[in-house]
Every structure is written in C-alpha cells, then in structure tokens.
A and B are shown apart, each in its own frame.
Chain A
Amino acid sequence: MNVLVFAEVVENEIQEITYELVGKAKQLGDVTTLVVGNADVSNINSDVIQVDAGEPLPWHYKIVEKVFEKLKPSAILFGNTLTSIDIAAQFAAQLDLPMATMVTDISAKDDGFVATSLVYGGKVLVDLALKSPAVFVVNRGSFPAEEGKGSVGNVEKLSLEELGVSDGIEFVGYIKPEVEDVDISKMDIVVSVGRGIGDEANIELAEELAEVLGGVVAGSRPVIDSGWLPKTRQVGRSGKTVTGKLYLALGISGATEHVEGVKAKNVIAINIDRNAPIFRISRCGVVADVLELVPVLIEKIREAKG
C-alpha cells in the first residue's frame, strides 16, 4: 500500500517527528513524504514530494489534497503538532476521510486500520477501527525516529502553480520567544507546578523548594495561562523542553502536551491522584497533597544539607 507522510517543518527545518512518522509508515507500505517549503530533505528515508510554498499554512490542506489524488495513498500520517493538525483536520473533512487524532499506534487490519489513541488527558486509551484511506494525527515520541532517517529516495519538486492551488491565510512572520530571565531548558534542576498547586500564593512554596535545591521554578499551561508565572517558564508542546538532571512535578497531571516537554533524566512527581498519567514517566512517584508534603520536604532538605 502507499502511505503519505506530511512532514513537520518549522522555520524551514524538518522536525524530528517527521522521521518518527516515516519510520512507522515504512512498516505499513511504500512511503512518500510531502514537504512544504525548501528544507533540506536529504535525511528522509523515503521518496519525497517537495512543494515550494513557503512555510506550512492551514490552507495547505489543498496541497495534500492534490498529492493525495496523485498517489492514492491508503494512509496519510501527520504529526500531532500545532501546524499539522490544522491541515490534517481540513484535509480529512474536505475529502470525507475518517481521521484519528492523538494516535500512539497504527496497524493494518483486514482492508482498513486499527489505531490507538491516548485521550482524556492521558487517562484512557481507545482502539479505533478506520476504513481505508484514513488520516492519522500521531503523537510525538510514539515511534523511533531512527527508522525514518537515511538517505532520501526520489525527490520530485512541484510549485503551487503546477498544483493549481492558492488561497486566503497569509503568513506575516515569526515572533521569537521572549528573552527569558532564565532558560528552563538549560537548567539542571526544575521544580514545576501544575494546577494542583491550587492558588497563586502557593507558588512561593515551589520557589522555596527550588531555592533549597538550587533550581528554578517552571509550570504547566494552566499556571502560565493564569498569569502566575511568565510564559517563558512553560514546559510542554507550546513551551520549553526540560533536559536537565531533575524535574520535580508538583500537582501536574501529565497530559500528552505537557510530557512532550519533559526530557529530564529523572522525574519525581507528587500528585494526589494515584492514577495521574505523570507517574508513567516518573522515576519516583509520591501520592500526596503537595501543600502538605512540600513544606516538610523543604525542612528535611535543609536538615540534610546541614
């Protein structure tokens, strides 16, 4: 079967998730990767169709539509990212194709597919049966990237004129992240607060803990959205990825969008809910109320440090 992968391109660079998708797609059939823009495609381990159309835009579902007509793929894979999901949803609706999002696994079955999706904030898995052709929006980190890397096959270049598409939304430019006071992605020790911290006033508690540990405070989206911490401190898909020695998660549930940004060597999570998905990526999980535990923990750490 033919499989089409929609490459994730940001600032003219192929993103890692593209290789994850290509790797998975190769298990399903013959792969063509569609790249919008003129990024370097030499490491993509498949054939490529490259369309000179600047940065990917929501209306580029029209490009996918043209390529779909040309290749007649059975499966079309997109990354679950802020760019690709706009395109995937419109493409699927335009062509009346079944679509699964938040996908963590795909297999071919009979004359269709079975997809697994991680939903309800990471608390539920669902298996879906989809008719072919089908659209999949795949979570980052679901498949190894290595299999998708290699040397590119045949590269076909197309222009928007050749495809005969044009449309509405106009890209004005990028707005770079604000210059931060600290770069949480470079810090060794990050104490991160989620909605479970309850109140803005309790952020102080996390700050004190970060101070005794020699780290900095970060947060999940609801905490940032509430204005309790600056945007530069957000961990996750939309924010930063932490990569240091320790990530201490206080009252964070562990939604997919959050854990995408957690690549620290050791994760310790404190959560009142023993089923919190954050425990699945933790080295150590503590079922407790952060407001009760953290003050005691600060004391004990002070004692240990002497």
Chain B
Amino acid sequence: MKICAVLRVVPDLVEEIEIEETEIVPFAYIANERDEHAVEEALILKEKAGGSVDVLGVVDEDTASDVDEPLAMAYAKGADNLIKAILSRKTFRRYEVAKGLAEFLKDKGYDVIFTGIQAIDAFAGTLGGMLARCMNLPYIGGVVEVDVQNGTLVVKKELGGGLLGEYRVSTPAILGVVSAERPLKFVPFAKLKKAMKEANIDEVDIEVPEIEGIDVLRYYEPPKPEITLLEGDPEELAEKLVEVLKEVSVL
C-alpha cells in the first residue's frame, strides 16, 4: 500500500505567542499533535498491510526549517520518504492549501493519504475534507483505527462521548486522524540525532492559489476570567485551597 501522511508545524502554545491585530507571532513551532498521530497511524497501517510511508511536511518559507526535526522523527520511526512541500505563500485558508496540495498529490498514486484533524490554528477550514473534494476522493475524519479487509479499509471513527462508528472505505481515500490507535512511539534523543543526519528530505514548491471570500479582520485576546487568580508559595496556596474546598462542601 502506498501511504502518505501530511505533517505540519504549528505555534507551540507552551511558549508565549504574540497576538497582533493582523497576525499571530509565535515564539516557537512544534509538530502539530494531530499530525504526529496521523504519521503514527500511517506507520501502523504499513505494519498491517505492507507498503511504504511518505511523509509530506507542509511549510511556508518562514517555517521551512522548523519541520526538519519532526520529519526526521518520522524517519526514525520508520517512514520511507520525506518530502518538504513549500507553499508559495502563507495562508490561513485550508481550502487554498488543499487546492495547491491536490495539484501535487493527484498523480502520485497514493492509496491512503492521512492528515491530522483540526490543527490548533484552524479557523478557516479543515484540510482533509477539502483536499478530498479537490482530489475527488472519499474522506472520513475523526479516525482512531484503520484495518484492511479484502482490500478495503475498515475504519473506526470517533463520534463523541466515547461512541465509535465503524465504516468501510474504498481506496484511494483520505483519512483525518484524531488519535493513532496506540501511543506515539518514543524515539530516544540519540536516534533522533542520527536520523537528522541521515534522513534525506526532498523539496517541492507548491503554488497556492488565492481564493476570495474570507478575510481576517483582527486577532485579539479573549476576555480575562472574572475570578482572582491565587498566587503565592505552595504552603499558603494549599491552605487557601482547603478553604475553597470547604466552601464548596467537599471537605
């Protein structure tokens, strides 16, 4: 099976992000968590069905090098080919990215393309579903498990509240992963370092079209909470918390 997984970097929310009226300026980037799960599930499918996994790191000029380490990580875990897709411009619209990527992906012959679902910076679309329409392929998101039976994908999807649904999906298809079926494989630092040295990353340029219809007016901070936040040394805070626990009659 020829498998592809889309991997991208997003602002690291553990670090500060600067909220400017017209853009979000992150301090650091990390791999999008859902994409890491998409890569993991791609590798799991390869274990189950054989074949190869290509990981497509999607970046723009500004984040082009931030994806090197996540790509090397995928390589260390067993990905076969690494490709860096450099978008011709930054955009917050998934639809524009989908159109650009579809053009690149259409003749690559992938049986399954994995994307993560709903990156933290998603507010104008969801890539998987849009890519599916641009490529005229079936799509299903919320995926937590993939098997193959008689050449057909058998997919488990989350429906919320702990409920899952099972679906049959013919290939080629696009699957939006929310979590891989097992925890992400741990890669020791030495192995990652080695992969960083060894891994060969191909680069392609992706022309992103400009489509009208939606614009950012402004970014801003949500209103501050109405409560007073408690701060201080642990001893003092613990005492205050005990009082609160009494107030709500837990103690």
> Which residues of A does B touch, CB under 8 Å?
10-11, 55, 57-59, 61, 81-83, 85-90, 92-94, 96-102, 114, 117-131, 134, 167-178, 189, 213, 221-222, 225-227, 231-232, 234, 237-241, 245-246, 253, 255, 265-266, 268, 274, 277, 279-280, 282-288, 292-293, 296-297, 299-301, 304-305
B130 within 8 A of A: yes
**Shortest distance between the CB of B226 and any CB in chain A (Å):** 9
Closest 4 CB pairs of A and B: A89-B129, A177-B162, A98-B213, A93-B133
**Also in contact, A123 and B250, with CB within 8 A (given A82-B141, A128-B215, A296-B238):** no
Q: How far is the CA of A97 from the CA of B130 in the complex (A)?
A: 11
Q: How far is the CA of A243 from the CA of B159 in the complex (A)?
A: 20
Binds A, one of B42-50, B65-73, B118-126: B118-126
A297 touches B238 (CB 8 A): yes
- Chain A residues whose CB sits within 8 angstroms of the CB of B238 once the complex forms: 293, 296-297, 299-300
Q: How far is the CA of A119 from the CA of B134 in the complex (A)?
A: 25
Q: How far is the CA of A293 from the CA of B233 in the complex (A)?
A: 8
A130 touches B229 (CB 8 A): no
Contact with A along B35-75 (1 / 0, CB 8 A): 00100000000000000000000000000000000000000
**Also in contact, A288 and B248, with CB within 8 A (given A128-B124, A232-B162):** no
B234 within 8 A of A: yes
Q: Is the interface of A mostly helix, strand, loop or mixed?
A: mixed
Binds A, one of B80-88, B105-113, B192-200, B239-247: B239-247
5 extra interface residue pairs, beta carbon distance < 8 Å, beyond A102-B123, A124-B19, A245-B250: A83-B142, A170-B168, A246-B245, A285-B229, A293-B234
Q: How far is the CA of A232 from the CA of B161 in the complex (A)?
A: 10
Residue of B169, B241, B251 with highest tally of chain A CB at under 10 A: B241
B183 within 8 A of A: yes
B140 within 8 A of A: yes
- Chain B residues whose CB sits within 8 angstroms of the CB of A129 once the complex forms: 214-215, 217
A304 touches B138 (CB 8 A): no
**Also in contact, A11 and B163, with CB within 8 A (given A101-B118, A169-B168, A301-B242):** yes
Q: How far is the CA of A138 from the CA of B126 in the complex (A)?
A: 13
Q: List 24 A-B contacts (CB under 8 A).
A: A55-B165, A58-B139, A59-B138, A82-B160, A82-B178, A85-B129, A86-B129, A86-B141, A89-B141, A92-B130, A93-B130, A119-B122, A120-B13, A122-B222, A127-B216, A168-B138, A175-B165, A175-B166, A222-B33, A232-B162, A246-B248, A253-B13, A286-B241, A296-B235
A120 touches B163 (CB 8 A): no
- Chain B residues whose CB sits within 8 angstroms of the CB of A55 once the complex forms: 165
**Which of B125, B138, B168, B216 contacts A58 (CB under 8 A)?**
B138
B211 within 8 A of A: yes
B237 touches A93 (CB 8 A): no
B78 within 8 A of A: no
Give the nearest-CB partner of A275 in chain B.
B221
Residue of A120, A130, A283 with highest tally of chain B CB at under 10 A: A120
Q: How far is the CA of A148 from the CA of B249 in the complex (A)?
A: 36
Give the nearest-CB partner of A195 in chain B.
B14
- Chain A residues whose CB sits within 8 angstroms of the CB of B17 once the complex forms: 120, 123-124
A174 touches B225 (CB 8 A): no
A174 touches B221 (CB 8 A): no
- Chain B residues whose CB sits within 8 angstroms of the CB of A279 once the complex forms: 225, 227, 229
A126 touches B219 (CB 8 A): yes
